[in-house]
Amino acid sequence: MEQHSVLHRILLDGKFRVLRYILLCLFFVIVSINQSLVGYMELIPHLGYNIYWIIAVTVLVYMISILFLRRLVLSHLLKGKYLLFAVNVILYAIIYTLVSNIIYSRYLEDYKFFSKAILIDNLSAISLYILCILGVIIPVFLRNWGLSNEYLSKLKIKQVSSQVEQFKEQINPPSFFKILNESKKSVMSDPDKASVILIKLSQLLRYQLYDCNRLLVLLTAEISFVRNFLELERLSSSRFNYKIETLGNINGIFVLPSIIFPYVQSVVNSLDQDKEYLDIEIQFLNRADMVSIIIKTSDSSNNILLQKELLKVKERLGALYRSRYVLTIEKDITPETTEVILQLSK
């Protein structure tokens, strides 16, 4: 993280709170002296030594108002009561303006409060006071705004992390028990088939336990994982076939683990073994600025379930890749196929 400037630290860092209050008090003392000597210049012959009392009273009014403004910020601004906050700021500005008007009316007999020139001067003074009040409050608001943003950022990170973990939990396919049952049946009748099933199942589990714990995995490892899963399903079903094709150099490309697996798994699990024959074709394309994954399947009777799973995948992609992905769905009537195209920016 970049080191903040000295001014930024003085304005927002809690360690400099006392220094901020000292500078604020000094600022109001200077403003009070300037306002009394310059603003009341034409009254100095009438005021005499009372000018010092006026300076003291002005400083006192500012100091007391700062205490109320601090409470105003905590009770209104930081709690989202912006209308009440704005009304109170305007009231404080009017009070500050009335102080000078009271002094002028006390020492000048011909002072007319409601004259056009004085009203314009008062409106200008009120506007200036509002800007000064907001200038004093801005550092407090910025500090709390920064803390709120930091808190929200941490919540977003936790949310994305939980979604990633949830994403990884989807890797446990419900068909594992079916695969184990198939290997049990094949032990006596076809030992070679049973051996292949157990080896590929062990590769799936190893990928799930170790590789999926990483933030990114190689695309080649992800393809091997999907291929092993589909091969196990093909060995367990006579009404299922698949094809995986890679175009371009896919070595050295990293993606998030199990980026397409939940949808592929849902497609396979939606197959009605008694009525349907499922063809699934997956293409991995490496282009100049993006990686494309195309999943083409014959339509299933359980399209509603697939649509729900696809929405979940889209939500996870939005959390993990944000705006760096494009997901489109295309349907063909003849033959009845569904094509899901996922494009990931590098």
Residue 111 and residue 104 in contact, taking contact as beta carbons nearer than 8 Å: yes
Minimum mean pLDDT range among 61-75, 187-201, 212-226: 61-75
Tokens found for residue 279: 């063809």
248 DSSP assignment:
S
In this structure, is the dihedral angle defined by the CA atoms of residues 86, 92, 96 and 102, taken in order, positive or negative?
positive
Q: What is the pLDDT of residue 162?
A: 65
Q: Would you say residue 312 has pLDDT above 60?
A: yes
Calculate the dihedral angle through the C-alpha atoms of 171, 165, 262, 339, rounding to the nearest 10 degrees.
-150
Instruction: List all residues 6 or more positions away from 139 whose beta carbon is below 8 Å from its beta carbon.
Output: 11, 12, 20
Q: Would you say residue 1 has pLDDT above 60?
A: no
pLDDT: is 177 or 167 the higher one? Answer: 177
Q: What is the pLDDT of residue 273?
A: 53
Going by pLDDT thresholds of 50, 70 and 90, the confidence category of residue 2 is very low
Q: For the chain, give the number of residues.
A: 346
CA dist 252 and 29 (Å) reads: 66
Choose the most confident range, by mean pLDDT, from 225-229, 231-235, 302-306. Answer: 225-229
Tokens found for residue 10: 């003085």
- The mean pLDDT of 248-254, rounded to a whole number, is 88
Share of the chain above pLDDT 90, in %: 3
Q: What is the pLDDT of residue 284?
A: 92
- The mean pLDDT of 335-346, rounded to a whole number, is 80
Going by pLDDT thresholds of 50, 70 and 90, the confidence category of residue 140 is low
Q: What is the pLDDT of residue 250?
A: 87
Tokens found for residue 278: 């499922």
- The mean pLDDT of 127-151, rounded to a whole number, is 75
Q: What is the pLDDT of residue 330?
A: 81
Q: What is the pLDDT of residue 166?
A: 56
Q: Would you say residue 272 has pLDDT above 60?
A: no
80-89 confidence digits (pLDDT tens) = 777 888 888 8
Return the residue matching tokens 């409470």. 71
Upstream peptide bond of 335 is cis (omega within 30 degrees of 0): yes
Q: Average per-residue pLDDT in the chain?
A: 77
CA dist 62 and 126 (Å) reads: 15
Tokens found for residue 277: 């024959």
pLDDT: is 335 or 310 the higher one? Answer: 310
- The mean pLDDT of 267-291, rounded to a whole number, is 77
Q: What is the pLDDT of residue 244?
A: 92
CA dist 111 and 100 (Å) reads: 12
Minimum mean pLDDT range among 146-155, 230-239, 281-290: 146-155
In DSSP notation, 33-54 reads HHIIIIITGGGHHHHTTHHHHH
CA dist 155 and 234 (Å) reads: 42
Return the residue matching tokens 């006071």. 129
Residue 33 and residue 51 in contact, taking contact as beta carbons nearer than 8 Å: no
Q: Would you say residue 334 has pLDDT above 70?
A: no
